[in-house]
Amino acid sequence: MRIFSYVVLLLAVNINAEENHCASLTQPSKCGALGELIDVEKAATNYPNLAAVVGEPDRFKLQIIYTQVDRDQQNNPSLSYYTLGLDPERYFYPASTVKLPISLLALEWVNEPQQTAITMFSPMLTDAAFEGQSEAHTDSSSASGLPSIAHYIKKILLVSDNDASNRLYELLGQDRLNDRLRQLGLKHTLINHRLSIPLSAEQNRQYNPIRFLRSDGSVALALPARTSQSQYVNIDNPKLGIGYMSEGVLIQSPMDFSNKNCLSLQDLDGIVKRIVFPQLFIGTEQFQITEEQRAFVLRYMSMLPGESDFPHYSKEAYPDNYSKFFMFGGNAQSLPAHIRIFNKTGWAYGHLIDSAYIVDLENRVEFFLSAVIYTNQNDILNDDKYETEQIGLPFLNELGNILYQYELTRAKSRQPDLSYLNKIIN
């Protein structure tokens, strides 16, 4: 891999206005501004897209969290945060990133005592009871030909499958999802609708009946059709854009996201860290999943689509970098075997989001990186005129690479032992 030469400036921490957000970040040993680390002007030659975007952060509604990981003698991690534009109160549409907490909460659900008759691998058959709902009794992409919680999670983490996420949403319902998110300390997260299905707010509060089967085909657990009585809305009534397209007509007013999902970058970053380093969180803020389930999630977060047998994905349709925006976003390309990226991405309404734990097993590099960028120059939503390929993906590619290059040379008191990850990814 080509290593570019550039200048990095490291100044004193805690001198930026963004320190106001540091108190709520996870046990930071340091917290400062990203500009303290990267001299954008000197990096512009090799990273022109990065320099252009960082030079106009307000235009791109840019938010970044970069987290260094340092290890002690027992290989225990400590974290140092550097941020740019971080504001948990500033709304952006989270797109597919909500699928990650949905997946984790589905694993929590299956671990509850009343679910002892089933596991995450038990066949899960979804029926329909209300208008707008659909059935799911088979899944040709699974080895058994049947859907399950585990198989849905695979599809979510490998290629961000919408239907798979919707099935787990239907399993949990809004009450369960949002109650647990609050208990976990994720205060700027709200999930209130399926993805890519045009349903009303009322229809999104109605959930399909579901049956779980035993190995002999008999029903081990049956959930009836359910409805949430509570309404979960964004109380700030966020609006985006100066207009939006609706059924081919331009509506010349901002688009209302009050009844849309919400997931702040800070919460998303915290969710990824809860999976990678659960020990850094107090017990009530940890996902209640087993070590085997955590390893399962990490494995498929880092797995490339072409590495999976069930489900199987062709490299033509799903190249290695299909959902790896940092370091590799843009034209289809392969990823080097020694670099693994444990991440979840989102892409909608001009927003491009990635939250990742990036590891170089060969050079013993590890760091976290989360970012959101808004690439919609005309500020019209739903017109499919976004600068995702021209600006968004190149920016995230370069952002990942400049920090990776910095990590290659960053002085550490101890090198991390990352050998345990080999058992997870292989």
Q: CB of 62 within 8 A of CB of 84?
A: yes
Beta strands at 77-84 and 28-33: parallel, antiparallel or unpaired: parallel
Residue 142 CA to residue 161 CA, distance in Å, equals 14
pLDDT mean over 215-233: 97
Query: Is pLDDT above 60 for 108?
Result: yes
* Predicted structure pTM score: 0.94
Query: Is pLDDT above 70 for 10?
Result: no
Tell the residue number behind the tokens 């952060």, with chain if given: 57
Beta strands at 243-246 and 380-381: parallel, antiparallel or unpaired: parallel
Residue 28's pLDDT is 61
- Least Cα distance to 12 among 26, 39, 32, 29 occurs for 32
Radius of gyration from C-alpha coordinates of the chain: 21
Residue 256 CA to residue 94 CA, distance in Å, equals 14
Residues 6+ apart with CB under 8 A from 361: 338, 339, 340, 418, 421, 422
- Least Cα distance to 198 among 243, 240, 259 occurs for 259
pLDDT mean over 209-214: 98
Tell me the percentage of the chain whose pLDDT exceeds 70: 93
pLDDT mean over 234-262: 97
Residue 24's pLDDT is 59
Query: Is pLDDT above 80 for 5?
Result: no
**Which two three-digit tokens encode residue 246?**
């609706």
What's the N-to-C CA distance of the chain in angstroms? 23
The phi, psi pair for 212, rounded to 5°, reads -110, 135
SS3 54: helix
Of the given ranges (19-33, 57-71, 195-209, 399-413), which has the lowest mean pLDDT? 19-33
More confident residue, 148 or 18: 148
Residue 334 CA to residue 343 CA, distance in Å, equals 17
- pLDDT band for position 1 (50/70/90)? very low
**Which two three-digit tokens encode residue 128?**
């329909």
pLDDT digits (tens, 9 = 90+) for 338-357: 999 999 999 999 999 999 99
Residue 76's pLDDT is 97
Instruction: Return the C-alpha torsion angle 238, 161, 274, 212, nearest 10.
Output: 110
